Amino acid sequence: MATQPVFAEAPAPDSIESLFAVPTLHCAGCIAKIENGLSKVPGVEGARVNMTAKRVAIRHDPALSPPELKAAIAAIGFDAEPLADPGVDVAAAENRGLIRALAVAGFAAMNIMLLSVSIWSGADGATRQMFHWLSALIALPTIAYAGQPFFRSAFAALRQGRTNMDVPISIGVLLTTGMSLYETLTGGHHAWFDGAVMLLFFLLAGRCLDSLMRGRARAGVAALLKQTAPGAMVLDAQGASHWVRADALRPGMRMLAAAGERLAADGRVVDGSSGLDIAFLTGESAPVPVGPGDEVQAGALNIDGPIIVAVTAAGADTVIADIARLMEEAAQGKSRYVRIADRAARLYAPCVHLLAALSFAGWMIAGAGMHQALLIAVAVLLITCPCALGLAVPAAQIVACGALMKRGVLVKDGSALERLAEVDEAVFDKTGTLTLGRPTPHGLDRLEAQDKAIVLALARGSRHPLSVALRQAVEAEGVMPAALEDIREQPGEGMSGRFGDEAVSLGRPRSLISLFDLASEYRRGEQATLLRFADAPRPDAVVTLADLNAMGVTTLIASGDRPEALEAISRATGTTAIGHLRPQDKLALIGRLKAAGHRVLMVGDGLNDGPALAAGHASMAPASASDASQLAADAVFLGDRLAPVPMAVRAARRTVRVVKQNFALAIGYNIFAVPLAILGHVTPLVAALAMSSSSLIVVANALRLKGAAR
Amino acid sequence: MTGVAILIPIALCLGLLGLGAFFWALRDGQFEDADGAAVRILIDEED
């Protein structure tokens, strides 16, 4: 079988497991290539791909270092990033617990319902007694297990002197169970184990839907540390190099960073010169040239040539760790947001308690006796139990999220939709958000077809961002690469090769045209052509901003870039732009807007936007964003277009409208059913049917949101 | 009545068996990588 071939044999005792993120995984062929290719690498015992998480777990000899494994994956043809720490996925564990509880409740509800049906259809005497006992036998452990999520949350709320939706649920379930048990013990005619367990089942279904969407939203900080390397090659006094883990790096060590590697610690360059990609910090796509004496930050990607860096700060003292802390603090503000369902519960729960208590008191005064009065109070609690309310919100949100997902917007959390519906101010980052964030060559049409083929053949061999951009642009025109000989990459200079007997090359321009312009020079024989690059705006940036304005959302551009670089886009979109903002400045800007009473939607991609994304009332990031930003954002949109942003806001507003309709439906049902229950006319069968039908109506209304994303 | 006494335990046991199987599958990681499982069937085994 192909499913579990890898770890079938017992792993050698001293092997370790490393995790790599492989974002380009997309088909069965990729899985086979990586798993088979890696098992052939000496020292690797096995590899197992997880397609859903786009990860590969490699079990290997501890002697193999992460860069070697990364190179092995690259040799197979995939880009991989080592994951610093697998960590424990808290949200996934919580979700699994809920699914387990749902399975138990579903099993119990079906069996108890089966027994109840035979009681309703006339089982009598000893048979009814036995069926009640059987129901109790199934229901009691089920409620003790599957009811825990509600009991725990209700207890936590009560201890803080608050009340939420879980309080009436818990009281209702416990009281119903207690009454049923009493009835069973005394040989009474009715028991409501079926109602209590079915209630739990419906509510757990809503809870599961809710937590499915939440996904991995909480793991933001763990992902941020992915940006730094898990370790570095450190040079000792004799000049020999050995691998040191990032958490063992100390100031004063000298680490060697080869081209294509990320730095593992902050430091100062002592030898060599190169270009560093620090887009995660500044958002600028152009590599920054560094030489001896320059300061460099952990997480920077070394692009051109090897450099030796003296470590000045490692681990928790690095700039990137500071941003992680900022993000964590900013996200705390968001967690104080009260969800619509809980806001409704604040009003609803006291009403329900009061009604049940009043009907108990009323029947006591009317002289009905303790037993009957308690039965009626339980019926009131059961029938008002927010079954429909519990489904009203998650059902609408999951349908809307599904519709948005089909249009390329991934929403992480139900509360994100609620917050997205409330925004009235949108702050956009520039590089990578309003623009594509990658250099695109222009003026390619000046090249002859043959030259394009040569350029493609040269660019293919290099991972320099400009080469990658050239390759993508030329490949998009359907050009096939020319056959070249002697292709070589000279770090810092570029690619060179031979076409027939002409020397051809692609590299750094000999004459420096402008300090900020990105350019690459293509030389063939004596003739040289300059290829210029620019960061192109997203195709619909102007329309999108106008669209948002028309929806009553004001827009603003906030960037870490130079103000001159913002002029063009600011003029094109007619939007105010603020430049030179550091991550903490963006955070402060959001804070000022918040203080002015605005609800801010932050749209950004870079790590420098991370704190602002976490602080915004709602936030969105393009799929090209850094992992940390994608995790900090409430929603991620795919593709080169910006139109998903207003579409998501519009869909969110419609969702909230449907949620409110659902509340109205659920409350309307209660207004109709509660008087009947208070008057003592509701039998268990009626209560069960009414509960299910009100839930179905609410779900059907939510299904109307299928076309919400337009 | 004796029929019920036999049939009900059998029905409950079968249900519990299904529940147990689901729990086992959940713990065993059968739902960890649903996308991967769907495409793995397409991999040709070379040996």
Check residue A19 and report its DSSP letter: E
- A173-176: long-range contacts (C-beta < 8 A, 24 or more apart)? A173/A143, A173/A147, A173/A199, A173/A200, A174/A143, A175/A377, A175/A378, A175/A381, A176/A378, A176/A381, A176/A382
Cα distance from B19 to chain A (closest Cα, Å)? 7
> Which has more pLDDT, A218 or A335?
A335
Residue A317 near residue A131 (C-beta atoms within 8 A):
no
Give the residue carrying structure tokens 């040799």: A75
Please name the residues in contact with A568: beta carbons below 8 A apart, sequence gap of 6 or more.
Answer: none
Please name the residues in contact with A275: beta carbons below 8 A apart, sequence gap of 6 or more.
Answer: A287, A288, A289, A290, A303, A304, A492
| Distances, alpha carbon A197 to alpha carbons A104, A201, B19, in Å | 10, 6, 16
Report the DSSP pairing between strands A600-603 and A618-622. parallel
| Distances, alpha carbon A564 to alpha carbons A519, A552, A571, A609, B25, in Å | 19, 29, 12, 20, 58
Q: Which of A29, A103, A134 sits opposite B19 (nearest CB)?
A: A103
**A99/B40 CB distance under 8 A:** no
- Domain, as residue range, for A287: 229-317
Q: Look at residue A684 in the predicted model and tell me its pLDDT.
A: 57
**B15/A107 CB distance under 8 A:** yes
Q: Helix A644-678 vs helix A684-703: angle between axes, to the nearest 10 degrees?
A: 160
Mean pLDDT is lowest, of A154-158, A199-203, A325-329, A484-488, for A325-329
Cα distance from A96 to chain B (closest Cα, Å)? 8
**Sheet holding A295-296: strands in order across?**
A241-245, A231-235, A254-257, A307-313, A266-271, A295-296
**B23/A96 CB distance under 8 A:** no
pLDDT above 60 (res A207): yes
Q: Look at residue A223 in the predicted model and tell me its pLDDT.
A: 46
CA of A31: which chain B residue's CA is closest?
A: B40
Mean pLDDT is lowest, of A208-222, A318-332, A442-456, for A208-222
A153: exposed, middle or buried (Cβ count in 10 Å: 0-12, 13-18, 19+): middle
Give the residue carrying structure tokens 């695109």: A440
Cα distance from B14 to chain A (closest Cα, Å)? 11
Say if residue A59 is in the same domain as residue A103: no
Q: Look at residue A86 in the predicted model and tell me its pLDDT.
A: 47
pLDDT above 90 (res A534): no
CA of B10: which chain A residue's CA is closest?
A: A111
pLDDT above 50 (res A626): yes
The first and second tokens of residue A234, run together, are: 């450190």
Domain count, chain A: 4
CA of B45: which chain A residue's CA is closest?
A: A2
pLDDT above 80 (res A211): no
In a domain, A433, yes or no: no
A632-651 pLDDT, tens digit per residue, is: 788 888 777 888 899 999 99
Burial per residue of A444-459, b for 16 or more beta-carbon CB atoms within 10 angstroms, e otherwise: beebeeebbbbbbbbb
Q: Look at residue A683 in the predicted model and tell me its pLDDT.
A: 63
Q: Look at residue A481 in the predicted model and tell me its pLDDT.
A: 82
In a domain, A98, yes or no: yes
Say if residue A61 is in the same domain as residue A109: no
Across chain A, mean pLDDT equals: 79
Q: Look at residue A101 in the predicted model and tell me its pLDDT.
A: 93
Say if residue A379 is in the same domain as residue A449: no
The first and second tokens of residue A583, run together, are: 């991550």
In a domain, A682, yes or no: no
CA of B14: which chain A residue's CA is closest?
A: A107
In a domain, A673, yes or no: no
A242-255 pLDDT, tens digit per residue, is: 778 777 788 888 88
Say if residue A259 is in the same domain as residue A212: no
Cα distance from B43 to chain A (closest Cα, Å)? 6
Asked if this assembly's ipTM is beyond 0.90, the reply is no
**B4/A127 CB distance under 8 A:** yes
Say if residue A24 is in the same domain as residue A103: no
The pLDDT of A56-77, averaged and rounded, is: 82
pLDDT above 90 (res A459): no
Report the DSSP pairing between strands A55-60 and A44-50. antiparallel
How does residue A282 score in pLDDT terms, banded at 50, 70 and 90? low
Chain B residues close to A50, C-beta within 8 Å: 32-33, 36
Chain A residues close to B32, C-beta within 8 Å: 50, 52
Say if residue A42 is in the same domain as residue A62: yes
Q: Look at residue A157 in the predicted model and tell me its pLDDT.
A: 84
Say if residue A311 is in the same domain as residue A380: no
Chain A residues close to B34, C-beta within 8 Å: 52
How does residue A218 score in pLDDT terms, banded at 50, 70 and 90? very low
Q: Look at residue A123 in the predicted model and tell me its pLDDT.
A: 76
Mean pLDDT is lowest, of A66-75, A206-215, A497-506, B12-21, for A206-215
The pLDDT of A59-79, averaged and rounded, is: 81
CA A35 to chain centre: 27
> Which has more pLDDT, A446 or A309?
A309
Q: Look at residue A646 in the predicted model and tell me its pLDDT.
A: 92
**Helix, strand, or coil here: A582?**
coil
Q: Which of A477, A511, A535 is the last residue of a domain?
A: A535
Cα distance from A128 to chain B (closest Cα, Å)? 12
**B22/A104 CB distance under 8 A:** no
Check residue A432 and report its DSSP letter: I
Residue from A304, A429, A451, A535 carrying the catalytic annotation: A429
Q: Alpha helix (H) ranges present in A239-385?
A: 279-282, 319-334, 340-365, 370-384
Say if residue A140 is in the same domain as residue A199: yes
Q: Rounded to 5 degrees, what are φ and ψ at A72?
A: -65, -40
**B19/A100 CB distance under 8 A:** no
**A96/B18 CB distance under 8 A:** no
A429: annotated active-site residue? yes
Q: How do the domains of chain B map onto residue ranges?
A: 2-40
How does residue A338 score in pLDDT terms, banded at 50, 70 and 90? low
Share of chain A above pLDDT 90, in %: 7
Q: Helix A90-120 vs helix A148-159: angle between axes, to the nearest 10 degrees?
A: 110
Say if pTM beats, i.e. exceeds, 0.80. no
Q: How far apart are CA A120 and CA A687, in angstroms?
A: 13
* CATH code: domain of residue A453: 3.40.1110.10
**Beta strand spans in A22-69 (E):** 44-50, 55-60
CA of B36: which chain A residue's CA is closest?
A: A51
Say if residue A75 is in the same domain as residue A31: yes
